[in-house]
Chain A
Amino acid sequence: MVQGADKPMDTERMVLNFGPQHPSTHGTLRIIMELEGETVIKGTPEIGYLHSGFEKLGEYLDYNQYITITDRMNYLSPLCNNVAYALTAEKLMGLEVSKRTEYIRVLMCELSRIADHILNVGMLAVDLGALTAFLYGFRLREDIYDLFEIATGTRLTTSYTLVGGLMRDIPDKFDEAVIKVLDNVDVVARDIETLLNKNRIWQDRTKDIGIISKEDAISYGLSGPMARASGIDWDIRVQEPYSRYEEFDFDVAIALNGDVFDRYLVRMEEMRQSVKICRQALDKMPAGDVMVDPDLGFSLPPKDEVYNSIEGLIYHFEITMRNRGMTPPIGEAYVATESPNGELGFYIVSDGGRVPYRVRTRPPSLMNYSIFPKLIEGHMLSDAPAIIGSTNVIAGELDR
């Protein structure tokens, strides 16, 4: 027996800087950790390394121009941001869009949800050492990028919706391309689950890590998979449906423990439910046009009318000239939608002019990340990437 082996060993507290440039912080996050050995005593996050003044830009660009900026917020699922902003602007102006517009928006949102969740699971796996899940997931994501390119023209920053409808209609044969990708999603999801669910290392590194209780989830304003993994039964698509979600039949995934493993399971199940919604949207797709009537003064008339009739020309100039533009009513509107991260809402205040008076994004990543200091206390240093990965914090939305 070594002399003095029963005496506790005193260590000095070490302060470690995690980020802002680090391979496993997703984007530009910085955490100042106080460590005692390998255990984290206190972790203080510092954000704002990607603050770009989005809300100041909202007071300078007009309603349709700002849609290009909303893409750059949550850049893993840009179509969800476009749809949320368009819904808020339409509520402010009192516009009713056509049924076909709403079905196409649902289809695009759900495809973005699949892309977002698969990348989040892939990055969580890469941070914990399982590289294969990331490569499988990225191959599927490239297929979804191809679909976006067929419909909207670009892969990532789509800017697909306009106030009053969509920029252009989906092309013919689009549904066949989508069905091919949807069949592949089930295969990839099953492959990833085979690799990870019953894996001893995965379970040791994600079970009982970062447990969030129900009361904490409500007090910290969590929403989306983070809240549903702690047992809160709240999905905006079901409880406050927007864009005709009440006409679709799907289940909501809820888990009870609230640890990293549960959040991973909830995201995988949500991917499967999104596939279900996409198939229903394609089956029941109604015919129609994808823009409101130009007589209302919020959308551009079709080109042949612009060139051949005087009313068409006048309406075109009324919308696009810098000293004209749309005339929304004076008021404000807040619409909450269910993005892959949680409750994404836009709050627009209008003073009747062609640019909004104030545009505010309710960023789900900021609320989800604010619980991090409470979660990391008492865990080891190597649990930090697991907890950050399960939070799905996206720096563009966090800092705006």
Chain B
Amino acid sequence: MLLSKIITKVHDKFPSVTLDTTQFAGEDIIHIQGSYNLDVLKLFRDNGFNFLADITAIDNLTLGGFERFAVVYHLLSHETAERVTIKAYVPEDQPELPSAESLWKTADWQEREIYDLFGISFKGHPNLIRIMNPDDFQGHPLRKDYPRLGRKERDDFPVVKRGINKEAAQ
């Protein structure tokens, strides 16, 4: 089905959920409310968009937008070679939305990465623990209010003592 037909279908079926439909550089972007992401994704999947290329998140602290966090899904249709971007907005005080792992298995690790780096949790995820940072890491690094140089985690290791004369002389 052509992408424009699917977008009108989304508007018809979920009128209150769809916040906006924009275009930039020839691509379509659909902005929806976070808690209804599974319904919209399932609609796209049943209409030919069978491949989930990427899930990521954006922290809209200084950019502005409907809410603070936006989880971005990039979908691809193998039959018609069309791509669409779906942005699901999540508020700051309750950053959680349903997990897409039930639809595509690739969402498993990518949602863990979003949880690790942004702090957005996913309901229904089988194993939501940190994936990139160590397990005892505090904070969520890719948020805009986390400093790039970190909070002293990289200086927090013991200095190795060899216990020989060569070391004492240095």
Q: Contact between B83 and A349 (Cβ–Cβ < 8 Å)?
A: no
A233: nearest chain-B partner, CB-CB:
B78
Q: Contact between A56 and B142 (Cβ–Cβ < 8 Å)?
A: yes
A349: nearest chain-B partner, CB-CB:
B58
> Could you tell me the distance in whole angstroms from the C-beta of B98 to the nearest C-beta in chain A?
17
Q: Contact between B62 and A351 (Cβ–Cβ < 8 Å)?
A: yes
Tell me whether A51 is interfacial, beta carbon within 8 Å. Answer: yes
CB interface residues, A 202-249, toward B, < 8 Å? 216, 218-221, 232, 234, 239-240
Q: Contact between A218 and B51 (Cβ–Cβ < 8 Å)?
A: yes
Q: Contact between A221 and B51 (Cβ–Cβ < 8 Å)?
A: yes
Residue in B50, B83, B108 whose CB lies within 8 Å of A218 = B50
A363: nearest chain-B partner, CB-CB:
B54
Interface residue stretch chosen among A263-271, A280-288, A327-335 = A327-335
Alpha-carbon separation in the docked complex, A349 to B72 (Å)? 11
* Chain B residues whose C-beta falls within 8 Å of the C-beta of A334 in the assembled complex: 27, 54, 74, 83, 85
Tell me whether A47 is interfacial, beta carbon within 8 Å. Answer: yes
Q: Contact between A362 and B54 (Cβ–Cβ < 8 Å)?
A: yes
Q: Contact between A333 and B27 (Cβ–Cβ < 8 Å)?
A: yes
Tell me whether B1 is interfacial, beta carbon within 8 Å. Answer: no
CB interface residues, B 79-138, toward A, < 8 Å? 81, 83, 85, 104-106, 108-110, 113, 117, 130-134
B54: nearest chain-A partner, CB-CB:
A362
> Could you tell me the distance in whole angstroms from the C-beta of B114 to the nearest C-beta in chain A?
11
Beyond A47-B131, A349-B58, whether A60 also contacts B148 by CB under 8 A is: yes
Q: Contact between B54 and A345 (Cβ–Cβ < 8 Å)?
A: yes
CB interface residues, B 125-168, toward A, < 8 Å? 130-134, 141-142, 148
Alpha-carbon separation in the docked complex, A388 to B111 (Å)? 23
CB interface residues, A 152-204, toward B, < 8 Å? none
Q: List the 5 closest pairs (A to B, CB-CB), nearest first.
A: A221-B106, A48-B132, A331-B24, A51-B132, A362-B54
Chain B residues with a Cβ under 8 A of chain A: 24-25, 27, 29, 50-54, 56, 58-59, 62-63, 72, 74, 76, 78, 81, 83, 85, 104-106, 108-110, 113, 117, 130-134, 141-142, 148
What are 17 A-to-B residue pairs whose CB atoms are below 8 Å?
A48-B130, A48-B131, A48-B133, A51-B133, A56-B142, A60-B148, A216-B105, A218-B50, A220-B105, A220-B106, A334-B85, A345-B53, A347-B74, A349-B63, A362-B54, A366-B109, A370-B105
